[in-house]
Chains A and B, each alone.
Chain A
Amino acid sequence: MTFLSGQPPMVRNLTLLLLAGLFLLPTVVTSPSMLQIIILIIFYAYLTSSWNFVGGFAGVLPLGHSAFVGIGAYTSTLLYLTWGVSPWIGMLVGGLLASLVGLIIGLPTLKLRGAYFALATIAVGEGLRVLVENVEKVGPFEVRGPKGLLINLVEDAPLSAFQFQSKVPYYYIILVMLLAVLYLTHRMMNSKVGYYLAAGGEEPEAAEALGIKVSRYKLIAMAISCFLTAIGGSFYAQMFLYIYPKSIMGLELSYEIAFIALIGGRGTILGPVIGALLLRPVSDLTRIYLSSALPGLHLVIFGLVLIVVMRYQPKGLIVPLRHLFNRHIIPFLSRKNGKSDPVAPQKSE
């Protein structure tokens, strides 16, 4: 793991400690409902990190990404319910299908002004949702429109059925998925694709003059993002065993994913994760405690937080957080350990 070796020892140790803690978490947190909340936080972190490939690195604003969550969920579920295909395989099929749809949208729109892309994603997102809501049956597949799809919980299901009685396996699966995406993000940032995307985002004319076909790389980012997002959708389907269009293909989910990434810090590795960590609990808490009196308050809060963050920290909250971490926490911890030299940050902002 090259990125760990490049960090000062204090950061390295903290990261390893954190990872160990994450993997041991289910031994400490035994309440299933608490675990589910944590699983959902990690799930959203996964979704926003996948969104990040396009929204962060390609520099455009996808506002309809829930469509891909839906494609993933519906594909793996329909394949399972109709033909008994293992959701593990269905997941991959869904991912590929989502990539294809993403490429079709991206091809005409990624070489135009960002606004066109944003609008196109909304149109496709809503369009797909309306389509699924209005369709009862497509060929051999019973889509059941707005009623949604139900997967039956099978006793002693085989591993291929991607179903577990306890929440714990789900926790590990989504944790691994998140870590994999984060690693993939890091690898991408430090590769030709990453450099080219950054160049194309900042100065597209200069990038083109340096041999970069900017739209091609944006499409690559789009394909990766859609694939990963769809897999997340399949995970959701297998975890909750019930999906319906408004829940996984709605505009609300698309916006939530985008907002979390934006508030946390798009275009960085940890930004979306921070966003999910900060905002999901806020969303859950306001929904639980205030929802009866003031429905939708958590969404108002989301919107306000977004506006305020964009005003003062347009690059996301990760910037001041990272600053805090590097300037204060690390030296503080170093001093506690008896090391006298303040550790300077290795990576550039």
Chain B
Amino acid sequence: MALLTVENVTKKFSGLTAVNAVNLTVDEGQIVGVIGPNGAGKTTLFNCIAGALAPSSGSIRFSGHEIAGKKPYEICQLGITRTFQVVKPFATKTVLYNTMVGAFATTNHLKEAEEKAIQVLEFLGLHKKKNVFAKSLTLPERKRLELARALATEPKLLLLDEVMAGLRPGEVTEMLPTIRKINQAGVTIVIVEHIMQAIMNLSEKIYVINFGKKIAEGEPLAVVSDPEVIKAYLGDEYVATQH
């Protein structure tokens, strides 16, 4: 049984169908990428899975349980944690405090939360900055903190919303092994992304969304040469040039 099954999910906003009967499966341990041109509906789909929006129809099952329409905190408690494209650290608190907030998802005790948080920070290389206030961090560090916080909740599935957004190419390359490391530690990952280098490097399977519909699915290289995908990104004229 797949870890996450998105079945025929549709999301309408009075007249606009942002997500149109999308099907998606994620197996345990995979890194699955979701790409598509701007406005394709990836973020809306993402938000439906994360609980920020409720789908108009369709089902989303996680480990067999129906989660469509549940609230974000419920979804986190079930084992799915998401990060935000525009990072939202608790700016007036330290890196350690931020991470501990995540750690409290699995424990009620301060000491335990602190220990778990420190472990996560060490894993992600942020422990030297544990007493620094989040507002003093650089952008790549904040992204790392966002990951740490999410990881501290011990998720089975991690949803990354354009985690590379705003990073310079060098910073992107630095982020890749971190994400792989998280996956190797046993966390399944769904990553919505624009930056092709990241997606190609990380994903085992890619879904391509355009105008709310899934237009391609498969391994990275196959998807990238799919004519429909090329048409979606670059337009008709470029399809022929592939051969």
Which residues from chain A contact B41 at a C-beta distance below 8 Å? none
Cross-chain contact of B73 among A192, A208, A348 (Cβ < 8 A): A208
In the bound assembly, the distance between CA atoms of A202 and B77 in angstroms comes to: 20
Looking across the interface, which residue of chain B has its beta carbon closest to that of A191?
B110
CA distance A206 to B77 in the complex (A): 14
Total count of chain B residues near the partner, CB < 8 A? 33
A214 CA to B71 CA, complexed, in Å = 12
Chain B residues with CB under 8 Å of A348's CB are: 94, 131, 133
How many interface residues does chain A have, given as a range? 20 to 34
Measured between beta carbons, the chain A residues less than 8 angstroms from B5 are: none
Q: B65-103 CB contact bits vs A (8 Å, 1 = yes)?
A: 000000111001100011110001111111001001110
Cβ of B160 within 8 Å of any chain A Cβ, yes or no, is no
Is B10 interfacial (CB 8 A cutoff)?
A: no
Closest chain A residue, CB of each to CB of B91: A202
- For B159, the closest partner residue in chain A by CB is A209
CB atoms of B101 and A196 under 8 A apart: yes
Whether B153 lies near A206 (C-beta < 8 A) is no
Inter-chain CA distance A342–B60, complex, in Å, is 59
Q: Which B residues are in CB contact (< 8 Å) with A203? A: 88-90
Judged by a CB distance under 8 angstroms, whether A195 is at the interface is yes
Cβ proximity bits A181-219 to B, threshold 8 Å, 1 near / 0 not = 000000000111001101100110111111111100000
Q: How far is the CB of B106 from chain A (nearest CB, A)?
A: 9
Find chain B residues with CB under 8 A from A198 CB.
90, 93, 97, 101
Residues in chain B near residue A190, CB distance under 8 A: 110
Given contacts A196-B101, A196-B104, A198-B90, contact A210 B76 (CB under 8 A): yes
Q: Are A195 and B101 in contact (CB under 8 A)?
A: yes
Contact of B71 among A191, A195, A208, A210 (CB under 8 A): A208
Determine whether B116 belongs to the interface, using a CB cutoff of 8 Å to chain A: no
Pairwise interchain contact A210-B81, C-beta atoms closer than 8 A? yes
| A214-B76 Cα distance, complex, nearest whole Å | 13
How many Å lie between the Cα of A196 and that of B153 in the bound state? 13
Cβ of B113 under 8 Å from chain A: yes
| Residues in chain A near residue B91, CB distance under 8 A | 202
The residue in A199, A209, A211 that gathers the most chain B C-beta atoms within 10 A of its C-beta is A209
In the complex, are the beta carbons of A211 and B76 less than 8 A apart? yes
**B45 part of interface (Cβ distance < 8 Å):** no
Chain A residues near B100: list those with CB within 8 A: 195
A311 to B71, CA, bound (A): 38
Interface hub of B77, B104, B131, B153 (most chain A Cβ within 10 A): B104
Besides A208-B72, A210-B150, 13 new A-B residue pairs in contact (Cβ under 8 A), listed by A number: A195-B113, A198-B90, A206-B88, A209-B72, A209-B76, A209-B82, A209-B83, A209-B84, A209-B150, A210-B73, A210-B102, A210-B149, A213-B71
Interface residues of B (CB under 8 A from A): 50, 52, 71-73, 76-77, 81-84, 88-94, 97, 100-102, 104-105, 108-110, 113, 131, 133, 149-150, 153
Task: List 27 A-B pairs, Cβ < 8 Å.
Answer: A195-B104, A195-B113, A196-B104, A198-B93, A199-B90, A203-B88, A203-B89, A203-B90, A205-B84, A206-B84, A206-B88, A206-B90, A208-B71, A209-B50, A209-B82, A209-B83, A210-B73, A210-B76, A210-B81, A210-B101, A210-B102, A210-B153, A212-B73, A213-B71, A213-B73, A348-B94, A348-B133
Give the 9 A-B CB pairs with smallest separation, nearest first: A211-B76, A206-B88, A211-B105, A208-B72, A203-B88, A199-B101, A202-B90, A213-B73, A192-B104
A interface with B by C-beta (< 8 Å)? 190-192, 195-196, 198-199, 202-203, 205-214, 348
